[in-house]
Structure 1
Amino acid sequence: MKLPTHSGFYRKLTLVCYLPLILFVVLWQTVLAPSEFISLPLAFVLFVLPLLLPLYGILKGNPYTHAWANFILMLYFLHGFTTIYTLWERRYLPLIELLLTTGAFIGATYYARYKGRELGLGLKKKQVGNAGKMPD
């Protein structure tokens, strides 16, 4: 199976997974399984606010925002695995979280890569002329 090498597909994948992830986290913390240990406002700060930080850049299609949003998505990935382990009887909730997080992560990673190439962005290559020599 050959994966697409254009940014449009990955932008759609990011949006199709990231926006429902926000909605799912809100529903999880309010309706599906609200925490008995933390208040609702604190739950919103801890679980919803981090997803809202890169939202503007993701909606605008900024490849740099897609790249750093992956750091935030990793928190939800870890949360999903931890919750599967600790609350086995409600494993369907973290499984949905993991599915949406993984889709958003893959979409954001490849969108940043391909859109960055399309825009001519990238990391500068290091000069190899004096590689391995100590400065005087």
Structure 2
Amino acid sequence: MKAAAPLPLKELNQKLLISRWLTLGSYFALLAILLAGIVIYPLPEGARLWIILPVLWLPLLVFLPGILKRNPRTHAWLCFVCLVYFMQGVTTFIVPGKAGIGALQALITVVLFSAAMMYGRWRGMELRGAWTN
């Protein structure tokens, strides 16, 4: 794979800041939309919120320490997990009466995927010293 061309430090820092905030915002928005989907739409009879919510949140919460530590590898792995939530959002979108929350989940997941991928790339460049003055 061809190495990325070095970026000016000011431009790299600006890209890192924007992608960092987009990653954090969409990460917590995805957690919120998953909770909202459970709260707004009734659960099947016999289902327990305290069981379903950890099953939905745990794959995302595993990445929280690495995201807060700004680890580029964690951001890359988060992209793979996001694909599952994208599929869930698209599947929810075709369920009658749940199109809005499904579309919103899919959209948030696309933003999270893109922002985390770019943050991981740019943070890796920063850590390798692939920037110019």
Report the 3-state secondary structure (helix = DSSP H, G, I; strand = E; otherwise coil) of the residue aligned with 1:107: helix
Q: Structure 1: where are the runs of 5+ without partners?
A: 122-136
Counterparts of 1:34 and 1:68, CA distance in 2: 32
Give the aligned partner of residue 113 of structure 1.
121
Count of matched residue positions in the alignment of Structure 1 and Structure 2? 116
After TM superposition, the score normalised by the length of structure 2 is 0.78
- CA RMSD in angstroms comes to 1.8
Identity %: 34
Q: Structure 2: where are the runs of 5+ without partners?
A: 1-10
Give the aligned partner of residue 26 of structure 1.
35
Structural mapping, 1:1-136, within 5 Å: 6-29=15-38, 31-36=39-44, 38-85=47-94, 87-120=95-128
After TM superposition, the score normalised by the length of structure 1 is 0.77
For residue 119 of structure 2, what is the amino acid of its counterpart?
Y
Greater Rg by CA: 1
Counterparts of 1:74 and 1:27, CA distance in 2: 20
